Amino acid sequence: MSLLQRGISQSLLRNRLIHPHHVNVVTRRCASTSTSPASNSWRTAAYATVFVVSTGVFAAYYFDARSAMHRYVLTPVLRNMFDAETGHKIAVKVLRTGLGPTDPVADDARLKFQLWGEDLSNPIGIAAGFDKDGEAIDGLYDLGFSWVEIGSITPKPQAGNPRPRVFRLPEDDALINRYGFPSEGHPTVLSRLLARIPRFTTGPERASLRDGSMLAVNLGKNKESPADSIDDYVNGVRTFGPYADVLVVNVSSPNTPGLRGLQNKDSLEKLLLGVTKARDELEPSVLTYRKPRLVLKIAPDLNESQLADIADVVKGNSIDGVIVSNTTIQRPSHLKNASKVETGGLSGVPIKPLSLKALQTLRSHLPANIPIIGAGGIWTGQDALDFAKAGAEMVQIYTSFGYNGVGTCRRIKDELVQLLENEGKSWGQIVKGAVDKHSWKEPEPKPTMVEQLKTEAEELKSYLGLGEKGEKVEGAKEPAPAPQSEKTPGEEAELKGAAQASVL
C-alpha cells in the first residue's frame, strides 16, 4: 500500500467516516486503480491523438467559410457578446491576421463579367465602411469578393463621432451608424498598401494583386475642412491613385455635416472637375500601367430632378461610374426595433427599395457606357439579380455580411448561379440586356428646315409619279379622281351661291 493510500485509510478511521471492516476493501480498490507507467503512457498517447484529430477537424471546418459554424455559432456569439462596433473591430482584426476562413470554391463561369473592359470573376463586392483603414484587404479577397473597397479615408487622422455610434436592428435585418468617418489618415493607410506590394511581381496588372478582382479606395473629407472645399478629395486622388484600381468619391455619407451638399449640381460640377483633373495628371501606375477609374458614390435620398442633374454632371466630367447607394436618413414605417430612432444612416434589408428605385432612375439618365454599381439591402442571390435586371453592372454588400458571417459572399454566389442557370443566361448577359433596355440614349437630331422641305418634296414627287426633272414617269399611278358629289342639284346651287357670297 502506498503512503497516500495508507493516509487516506487512517483519515477515514480517525473521523469515523468508515467502518474498520471496510478499510481493506477501500485500500484494495485504490491499489487496483493505481496504474503502471506503461499504462499511463498509453493513456497520454490516446488523449494526444484525440486532441490532434479533433483540432484538425475543427481547423478544417473553421477555415472553410461555407461552414454552418460561422453563420449559426461564431457570428451570433460575437454579436451577442459584444456591442456592434467592438464586434466589427474583432472581425477586422481576425481577417487581418491571415487566420480567417477562406472560400475554397472557384467561381462559376456564369458569374464572370467585364467592367471597363477588365475581367472580374464574380459580381459581388464588399462596400466601404467594413475595412475603414485597409487592414484586412487580403482576408476579404480570401472570402471570395471580387471587389474590395476600403475607407472612407480622410487626409488627416480623425476619431469620428462619439460612441455609441453603431446600432443593430436585428428584427429588421438592419443597422444604423453614425461613425462620422473615423480614419487613421492618408499616411497610415498608404503605408499598408505599400507593404502589400511584393518587391518583385509578375502578377496581374491590378492594384488588387489578384486575377479577376479590383481594389477600390473610398475617399472622404475631414470634418474640420470647409464644407465647399474639394482639396481633401484632390489630395486623396494624388495619394492613392497609383495604388488603386478605382477611386471612389464619397459625397453621400449623412454623418459628416455639409457633405451631402456636394451632391448639388454646381458643387458637384466643381468637385468632379477637380478630381478628374488630378487623376489625369497622374503618371500611369507601376502596378496597373494605367490611371485609376473614378467613381462617384451617391445617396438613395435624391429625387428624380436631383438624379438627372447628377447624371448631367457625370456625363460631362469623364467620371467612369456611379455607386448607388450609401445609407439612408429615411426611416420606413415598418421598422420594429427601438433603435430606429437613433440618428445616422440606415442600411440593410429596409433600404433595398430605395436604392433600387434610385438606381433605376439614374440608369434612365445615364448612357450605357457609364456603369452603375448597386448597393443597399442585398441579402440573397435574388436581391443581386434584381439589381442586375435594373441595370447594375455589379453589387456590393455590407450589412448582410455583418449579420450572416464570412460565408455570405459564397452563399449569395451559389444562389445566384442557380438563378442564372434557371434563366439560361450568364450575369453578363442579364446585365447587358438590362443596360441596353433601360439606359439613356442620345436623341436623334431634328432635321433642319431645308432637310424637312427636301423630304416633303421627295414624298410629293413619289406620290405624283414624277422623275428627277419633274417629267411623268411611265407606269406611274394617276392621282385618284376626286369623289363625286352625292348632293341634289338644288343643294349644289345653294352651296355655290354661299361660296360666291363669302367671296364678295
Enzyme catalytic residues: 253
Closest to 414 (Cα-Cα) out of 374, 382, 378: 382
- 185, 157 contact by CB (below 8 A): yes
Which cell numbers in the block locate residue 354? 430605395
- 99, 65 contact by CB (below 8 A): no
d(CA 210, CA 215): 9
Alpha-carbon distances, residue 188 vs 4, 185, 289, 376, 482 (angstroms) = 63, 6, 24, 29, 89
- In three-state secondary structure terms, 485 is coil
Amino acid at 239: T
φ, ψ at 276 (rounded to 5°): -70, -35
Q: Which residues contact 213 (CB under 8 A, 6 or more apart)?
A: 120, 121, 141, 145, 146, 147, 148, 206
d(CA 349, CA 444): 41
- 152, 183 contact by CB (below 8 A): yes
φ, ψ at 279 (rounded to 5°): -65, -45
Helix and strand counts by DSSP (H, E) for the chain? 18, 13
Which cell numbers in the block locate residue 193? 498598401
- In three-state secondary structure terms, 137 is helix
Helix (H) or strand (E) holding 348: strand 345-348
- In three-state secondary structure terms, 304 is helix
Which cell numbers in the block locate residue 276? 478628374
Q: Which residues contact 203 (CB under 8 A, 6 or more apart)?
A: 209, 210, 211
